[in-house]
Amino acid sequence: MTSAAAPDDRLRLAVPNKGRLCQPAVSLLREAGFTFEEDERRLFVPCENFPLDLLFLRADDIGEYVQDGVVDLGITGSNLLLEAGVDVTRIEPLGFGRCRLQLAAPRDSGITGAEDLRGRVVATSHPKVSSRFFLERGVEVRLIEITGAVEVTPLLGVADAVVDLVASGSTLATNGLVALDAILDSQAELVRTRELRPARHHLAGQVALMLTSVIRARHRKYLMMNAPAEAVDRIKKVVPGMRSPSVIHLTDPGMVAIHTVVDADTVWQQLGPLQAAGASSILVLPIEKLIP
């Protein structure tokens, strides 16, 4: 598999083939408008409506494939990119696969932070990032690399502490561990090779725009309402982000329609105050794609 074999009028995007990042990445591609066959077990899946080939690869390997220009673009976790130490162009965080690389130790161990681990054993699947973390703190530890179930190593007597990926923290708690120092916040990212052939720049930009427009739209809602014209200033005060809403005159004299884009997380709190300010027929609509 070499990039030289691929024509310049098609792009290659690496997508995680299994695990936590796979389904959200596939959903994002579909929401962005790419159509492709359902069978994600295949390595190579061409898009039907866009000159893009999807390569389903191990999330851990994607950074290197992107770095070497085997694929033009990739979706993988920022933790994996840092651990692989790859040199790629980071285009945009994608808002899913959020987790934190965390130092954790058994609840009753008396270990309260990195300092307490001098000369002790720490298990991790992120040896490079962990080693940098301890080096920066001037704490010498013995790191052992474990590929899975890092959190059970203190119970097994294999390690004194762990550096592990944590989302809710429930796995740590189940294994009697408490979170200490946070080392890294991670999420899925869209990355591009620095080796991108000039003839592919335009296509790569289009793919990036299609994907990021969906990510941006996920955090926003389209808000529509009717109101008496004299209520517009009061309504603007209720929705702080609403700097320049569209105000459209209705056939009903003195009445206007107000349209704007608002933050999806806070819009619900604003509905009551909007009504109180004079708004009626309020609609909150999803946005499919948003290009600022």
Interacting span for ligand AMP (CB under 6 A) from 18-26, 102-110, 113-121, 135-143:
18-26
Q: Does 99 bind ligand AMP (CB under 6 A)?
A: yes
Q: Whose CB is nearest to ligand AMP?
A: 19
List, as one string, the DSSP characters of 251-267.
SSTTEEEEEEEEETTTH
Sequence-ordered list of residues with C-beta below 8 angstroms from that of 255, at least 6 positions apart, any chain: 226, 227, 228, 229, 249
Which CB, 165 or 235, lies closer to ligand AMP?
165
One-letter amino acid identity for 240? P
Q: Give the tokens for residue 236.
A: 């603007």
> DSSP code of 284?
E
For 115-122, the CB contacts below 8 A with 24+ separation are 115/139, 117/141, 117/160, 117/161, 120/160, 120/161, 121/158, 121/159, 121/160, 121/161, 122/159, 122/160, 122/161, 122/162, 122/163
Please pick, from the candidates 17, 67, 175, 186, the single residue that binds ligand AMP as defined by CB under 6 A: 186
Should residue 175 be labelled a site residue for ligand AMP when binding is judged by CB under 6 A?
no
Task: Supply the minimum distance, in Å, between the C-beta of residue 59 and ligand AMP.
Answer: 5
Of residues 49 and 170, the one with the C-beta less far from ligand AMP: 170
Q: Report which secondary-structure segment, H or E, holds 63.
A: helix 59-67
Q: What is the rounded CA–CA span in Å between residue 135 and residue 245?
A: 52
Structure token pair of residue 218: 């996920």
DSSP label at 94? -
77 binds ligand AMP (CB under 6 A): yes
CB of 79 to ligand AMP, least distance (A): 5
- Among residues 17, 67, 79, 124, the one that binds ligand AMP under rule CB under 6 A: 79
Binding segment (CB under 6 A) for ligand AMP, from list 19-27, 28-36, 42-50, 109-117: 19-27
Q: How far is the CB of 103 from ligand AMP (least distance, A)?
A: 15
Contact between 19 and ligand AMP by CB under 6 A: the answer reads: yes
Q: How far is the CB of 25 from ligand AMP (least distance, A)?
A: 10
Tell me how far, at minimum, the Cβ of 87 lies from ligand AMP, in Å.
19
> What are the residues facing 283 on neighbouring strands?
224
* Residues contacting ligand AMP: total by CB under 6 A: 12
Tell me whether residue 77 or residue 245 sits nearer to ligand AMP (CB atom).
77
| Residue among 54, 80, 60, 64 nearest 184 (CA) | 80
Closest approach of Cβ 279 to ligand AMP, in Å? 40
Distances (CA, A) of 21 to 63, 101, 162: 14, 16, 23
Q: Confirm or reject binding of residue 94 to ligand AMP (CB under 6 A).
A: no
**For ligand AMP, which stretch binds (CB under 6 A), given 76-84, 204-212, 214-222, 263-271?**
76-84
